[in-house]
Structure 1
Amino acid sequence: MPAVYWRVVRADFPDDQVLLACFAFFTLLCVGQLVSSWHLADSVDDLGDRLLVRRRGVEISIALNDIERVSKQWFKNPDHIALQLRRPTVFGSRIVFVAAMSPWHGFGENEILVDLRRRIGRAGGWRPTSG
């Protein structure tokens, strides 16, 4: 009797291949999310003339005039801000972090990006290109 019950219940579920395909899809989705966020800094704190960057237990301080360029990565929500450095650090020559969202997100430039560009320009770092 139990074998008949199992066949009836099992007939209501999709084939094993469909379940395996769904499992593989969600596994790839999770791995893709992990890979796409692996390079992000854990935190970036503003210390006035320096930025304190933490990533995986390592902490470094970067002077604003050591930053060559500040840019926003497109098609990322919330905004990812990339700092291109003049000299490589233990994190490499590029640091990417997730900017805090403002209530006006989606209406114009990110306030953190604009403020960093302005301050780094004053410190002798990033210069906007014309054209």
Structure 2
Amino acid sequence: MHGWKKAVLICTAVLSGVAAVALVLVACLDLNTADRTASVIGSVVGLAGLVLSLWVLLASRSEAGVEAFGAGAVAARSIGRAVTGNHNQLSGQPSAVPQPRTAPASSDPVRAEGERSVAAGEAIGDAVTGEGNTL
């Protein structure tokens, strides 16, 4: 888990715990006030959950669905030339970036996972992986 996500999770847990303890204390003193306070907190949390779910839904449909994990990994919608190794000898011009298809591109995420992996959502002109290649 990324550092900021862990921090948000911990802060949310702490704030939820504090709110629960506060509601129990208020309920012991005045049940009507605790009821109204819990209603307001529930409404705010429900609306925040709605906003968060819409944000995640809309963000997942964006171009941000391109991810590369691993040393030297490359991921893109279209790739002209990807070189992921060491000591490669390349000469000449790279292949032209492939023309997009006439059909709409898939909204599925493009993921390259692993050391020196290459992934494209559309097409790849050249993919050079490994050590000491001559092209």
Which bin holds the TM-score, normalised by the shorter protein? Answer: 0.3 to 0.5
Q: TM-score, normalised by structure 2?
A: 0.34
The answer to which structure, 1 or 2, has the higher relative contact order (CA under 8 A, 6+ apart) is 2
More strand by share: 1
Larger Rg: 2
Q: TM-score, normalised by structure 1?
A: 0.35
